[in-house]
Amino acid sequence: MKILTIDDQQLILLSVEKRLTELGYDVMTADSGQKGIELYDSFQPDLVLVDINMPDISGLEVVKHIKGGERNATPVLVMSGNTEEAIIMDGFTLGIDDYMKKPVSLSEMSVRIKRLIGAPVVELKTEISTGGRMLQKNCVGVVIPCYNEEERLSGTEFKDFAHSNLGYHLCFVNDGSTDNTLKVLEELRKGNESNISIYDCEKNGGKAEAVRLGMLHMAKDPQLDYIGFLDADLSTDFRDFDDLVETLDKSSFKIVSGSRMSRMGADITKESARKVISMTINLIIRTILRMPFNDTQCGAKVMDRSVVPLLFNKPFITKWLFDVEMFIRMRKHYGKVEAKKLICEQPLKRWIHADGSKLSMKDSVKIVGQLAKIAIVYR
């Protein structure tokens, strides 16, 4: 049984192709509507799995081609993040056989395909579990700067997340580590080459430069809708990061930044001394920015890919306060009023200060001097 899968995002295509091949289907993929139409005519599949939103020809145009041709009985299964009722109704009017809304699990996708065309008559040597694996609505790149993070990266959190959330791409930036961080990262990537990558810096340039290089590297990937960054200590929970992405997707914001300010029901823990210093620094930052931010320094942010060049093309002048510089660049480019409309500060539901933070109390004192430097350079 032959299946043609059409989607402009390689992260999705690779995951779907792998799963359907495991089930015994003969699978061909196309990363554009036009290529999909060409493959359909030559491959003559038993089922077509197609996305709606594609840059050249929409999925609905592909459906028209299929249902208007000689082989118009070929089942078409749409799998899309587009939830507009009018679009869905147009699809069924054109003759699609089923519609799945992303995010959707690989298990559900497989069951729906089997319902339409049955299962291949093959004997699988091993049973492959897809429990909990979700095809996400958007493709999201996450930059994770790493400097001597051998112990933190040895856990299963990152691999488990990459395995379960198909559509996320984790890019670890090894910032000239002197321990076995690079070796651990290479082990972490094994078996997840399609959604885990490593950007290796020979010399340590500091967190600001590591994030900058990682963001610019990820921005070269055209399939990514959003790109963000996250600390390797996972002080921000992956569930919270996913919430930031959801807010960005459902709004007109260009940046959604996590905030560790307390709120009802939040599980947020900070050392008391660190909290006092943080509040003092934040007051200075708000004065410099002339914008009402509660927490610029949270290490979890996600943004529309369109603003990445604006924010990261030029090197930052400080090692730790590049977040402040990012917001200043937004303010200078869009103007204060418009910038405030484009940046969302979203409280985290859970956050904890992890032991072994690279930012010491001594560093916190130095930050005041760096803030003065920012105020002078960006005035």
Decide which of 288 and 42 is more confident. Answer: 42
pLDDT digits (tens, 9 = 90+) for 29-72: 999 999 999 999 999 999 999 999 998 899 999 999 999 988 88
> What is the CATH number that goes with domain 135-377?
3.90.550.10
Distance CA 78, CA 279 (A): 50
Side-chain-facing half-sphere of 213: CA atoms under 13 Å: 20
Distance CA 272, CA 288 (A): 25
pLDDT digits (tens, 9 = 90+) for 137-151: 788 999 999 999 999
Decide which of 61 and 235 is more confident. Answer: 61
Q: What are phi and psi of 304, to 5 degrees?
A: -65, 135
**pLDDT of 125 strictly over 50:** no
Alpha carbon distances (Å) from 324 to 1, 66, 285, 295, 320: 55, 52, 7, 10, 9
Contact 261, 349 (CB under 8 A): no
Residues 6+ apart with CB under 8 A from 64: 94
- Per-residue confidence (pLDDT) for residue 268, from 0 to 100: 54
Most confident of 118-122, 128-132, 156-160, 163-167: 156-160
Domains of the chain by residue range: 2-117, 135-377
Strand pairing class (134-146; 165-175): parallel
Bridge partners, residue 267, by sequence:
350
**pLDDT of 97 strictly over 90:** yes
**pLDDT of 292 strictly over 80:** no
Strand order in the sheet with 2-6: 26-30, 2-6, 47-50, 76-80, 98-101
Residues in the chain: 379
| Residue 246 burial (C-beta neighbours within 10 Å; 0-12, 13-18, 19+) | middle
Least confident of 115-124, 146-155, 223-232, 245-254: 115-124
Q: How confident is the model at residue 346 (pLDDT cuts 50, 70, 90)?
A: very high
Chain mean pLDDT for the chain: 87
Least confident of 91-100, 272-281, 310-319: 272-281
160: left (phi over 0), alpha (psi -120 to 50) or beta: alpha
Contact 339, 229 (CB under 8 A): no
Fold of 2-117: Rossmann fold (3.40.50)
Helix, strand, coil percentages for the chain (3-state, nearest 5): 45, 20, 35
Contact 281, 371 (CB under 8 A): yes
